[in-house]
Structure formats: C-alpha cells, structure tokens
Structure 1
Amino acid sequence: MAKVRNNLLLQGLSGTLGKQLTFRQVGNDTIVSMAPAKSEKPRSPRQLARQALFAEANCYARAQAANPATQARFAGRPHKPHGGLHTMLVADFLCPPTVQALDLTGYSGEPGQLLYVTATDNYGVAGVHVSLTDATGRAVEEGPAAPGPDVTQWCYCTTTRVPVLSGLRITATATDYPGHTGHLEVTL
C-alpha cells in the first residue's frame, strides 16, 4: 500500500488501473495498492448474509448522514483516522445495544418505586422500555424508562401494586438509533 502525495495527475483518482493497481480515497489521501485477486469459489451463505448486512448498513449510513439531527448528534464525537460520519453510522448500525444490568434493590412490589436499567450502545441508546409480567404470563405493567443522571442509566417508576413477587418477570429492552434492540430479563 502506498500513499500518493503532491502528484496532480494521480491525486483524487479512484478505481482499478489495468489488473494490477487499485486507487482509492481515504479522507484526503489517495491510497495505491495491489488489485484484489478474484476468488473463483462461490461465497458461502454466511458470507452472503454478512455482505447483505454491510450493504444495509451502508444504505442506512447514507440516508442518516443527510439528516441534520443525526449530524448534530455526532458533531462533537472524535473521528477515528480515515473515518468520518459515514464510518460511525455504519458502526452504529452493526453494533446493537446491550442491557447490562437491572437494579431491583429498592423494589418491593409497590407503586412509585424505581427500577434502574444500565444500557449501553457504541453511539447512544435512543430509549429503554420496561415490562413486568406475572408468573402466569399476564402483563402487569409496562412503559418507557426515563434517562438517568448517567448516559448509561435509565429509571422506570412502577405504577401497579404487585402482591406476589415470586415468578414476576421484569424485562428491559434498549433500542439504539438504527432501531436495533438488546434485552435483559430477570425473574424474581
């Protein structure tokens, strides 16, 4: 791999020259490398699925890069070398959020008690939804959690009295900006 510097003829060039050299643009640099060898064997189903996922991520990134709200959300973030908004949006699409913890220490089944959810994503969690289901599978209550003092902390205030906590399932679902979800379920 080589970088082209101070060459007006090659600066800004991209594509393949003959069957030997490939020129591409990365940031303000023109990178020259050997052309990739074409594989004769067909791609596996897993490779095709991964290729489709990246194509979907690129479509998402192109659409979101034009959105002023997205531009504002990413404005203060540091860019990695040779990575800009498009690269961050692809990474955001490919990494779903995770719910790491559900803190139920202050919960005794009464209304007005707080349940704390710790949820993370590489570029921010858009929202957290909490649902409570009894031992028979009947929904007790559900609703959105409010952002807490920390960017990873979310708070849900209970509204229903639950007389029997045994078998109660509490599920927290985090959603990121591309719309992917991560879940954590705790059964009492």
Structure 2
Amino acid sequence: MAISENVLLKKLSGHLGKQIVFKQYGEKTVVSAYPNMSRRKLSVKQKEVNAMMEDANYQAKRIMANEELRQAAQVRLDVTSNKLYTALIKEYFKIARAGGEVPSGGQ
C-alpha cells in the first residue's frame, strides 16, 4: 500500500482493471492491491439479508417502472420523487422484518 500526495491522484478513487484500488483518506490518496474476495464466507444472516435486499430491489424497481404504482407509493410514503426508491427499500425491510405481508404495489 502506497500513500500519495501527487496532484494527479488528488481526488481519484475507485479501481483500475481489478488490479489496483485508489482510496481517499483525508487529504491523502492510498493506492493498494485489489482485494481477493474469493475465500470470503458469508454468515447465514448475511445471506438472508442479501436475499432480502435482492427482493426489495426487485420490488422497488418494479414500482418505479409503473407510473400509477410510483405515484401511489409516493403519496403513501410522503416523500419526494428523488427519495422514493430509498423509501421503498426501507419500507420493504421494515415490513419483512416485522413478519408482515410485503407490499406488492399500490396498497
């Protein structure tokens, strides 16, 4: 891992070809190797949350794609249009964790 204060790397962050990673820590840019996640083991709870997030993402995108459902959800959740997606994800998690019926649309 190298730390650089080079002007060319000042605001650079992200990865380059899955070989090196640029990170920002305060005023410094850190350059490191791309992480190897091949031996990562997810816990049962992590797998459950990942599956729940996948379902929430699918439902939110489905609602956002339909004008009627989107407007009904926006009124129901009382949020602006730019915050609707996040509010839909939050609503999905809240209902799913409470063990209730997850909304499939305009309820």
TM-score (normalizing by structure 1)? 0.32
Secondary structure of 1:96's aligned partner: helix
Conservation of the 8 A alpha-carbon contact between 1:61 and 1:86: yes
Aligned pairs (5 A) from 1:1-188: 16-18=14-16, 19-21=20-22, 37=35, 39=37, 40-73=39-72, 74-75=74-75, 77-79=78-80, 84-96=83-95, 177-178=103-104
* Structure with the larger strand share: 1
Give structure 1 stretches of 5+ with no counterpart: 1-14, 23-33, 98-173, 180-188
Give the CA deviation at 1:38.
5.0
Over 3 Å counting, the alpha-carbon distance change for 1:38 and 1:47 in structure 2 is farther
Secondary structure of 2:95's aligned partner: coil
Give structure 2 stretches of 5+ with no counterpart: 1-12, 24-30
Q: Deviations over 1:106-154 (max 9, x none)?
A: xxxxxxxxxxxxxxxxxxxxxxxxxxxxxxxxxxxxxxxxxxxxxxxxx
Give the CA deviation at 1:62.
0.6
Over 3 Å counting, the alpha-carbon distance change for 1:93 and 1:38 in structure 2 is farther
Work out the percentage of aligned pairs sharing the same amino acid.
16
In structure 2, what is the Cα distance between the partners aligned to 1:59 and 1:50? Answer: 14
Give the CA deviation at 1:176.
5.7
Give the CA deviation at 1:41.
3.0
In structure 1, what is the Cα distance between the partners aligned to 2:67 and 2:101? Answer: 21
Conservation of the 8 A alpha-carbon contact between 2:60 and 2:89: yes
Over 3 Å counting, the alpha-carbon distance change for 1:91 and 1:38 in structure 2 is farther
Give the CA deviation at 1:95.
1.3
Conservation of the 8 A alpha-carbon contact between 2:15 and 2:21: yes
* Structure with the larger helix share: 2
Give the CA deviation at 1:44.
1.4
Over 3 Å counting, the alpha-carbon distance change for 1:175 and 1:46 in structure 2 is closer
Give the CA deviation at 1:53.
0.8
In the alignment of these two chains, the number of paired residues is: 76
In structure 1, what is the Cα distance between the partners aligned to 2:21 and 2:103? Answer: 41
1:17 counterpart letter in structure 2: H
Q: Deviations over 1:52-108 (max 9, x none)?
A: 1101110111111112222212058234xxx622111111211118xxxxxxxxxxx
RMSD in angstroms over aligned alpha carbons? Answer: 3.7
Bigger radius of gyration among the two: 1
